[in-house]
Amino acid sequence: MLAVSLDTIRVFLHVLAATVWVGGQLTLTALLPVLRGAGGDTSRLAARKFNAVAWPAFAVLVLTGVWNIAEAGDMPSDYRATLHAKIAIVAVSGIAALLHARSSSRRGLAITGSASGLTALIALFMGVQLG
């Protein structure tokens, strides 16, 4: 059996946090019609509960991302360029999610929610690309 290393734990935490941040957004989006159909503040309450898990996951993503960079050592220029683009996209995802959480109009919720989800998926893809 393979030994568990600090590198394994670091990557595990990063991937786990990504599953919560990205997968949670996708799941909540899929459930939104049902939540709206339940009436009242059900969708808003579900979003608040999700935020209680999503934001700590986002923080873990950022922290383990910094840790990943610190452990990476020398990087080829194309890898570094991809990494910088991913960092920018992660920042946009977080900002869009923050704006979404503070939005009160349906249009604002739709635009910022879509922006956060799309950029989260792009960041996930780039993370896989970076390996």
Looking at residue 72, its pLDDT comes to 85
Q: Are 26 and 117 within 8 A, CB to CB?
A: yes
Looking at residue 111, its pLDDT comes to 97
pLDDT band (50, 70, 90) for residue 1: very high
Backbone phi, then psi, for 76, in 5-degree steps? Answer: -60, 155
Q: Are 16 and 56 within 8 A, CB to CB?
A: no
For 88-113, the pLDDT digits (tens) are 999 999 999 999 999 999 999 999 99
Residue type, 41: D
CA 62 to CA 131: how far, in whole Å? 17
Looking at residue 122, its pLDDT comes to 98
Looking at residue 42, its pLDDT comes to 93
Residue type, 105: S
Burial 116-126 (b: 16+ CB within 10 A, else e): bbebbebbbeb
For residues 66-83, give the mean pLDDT: 92
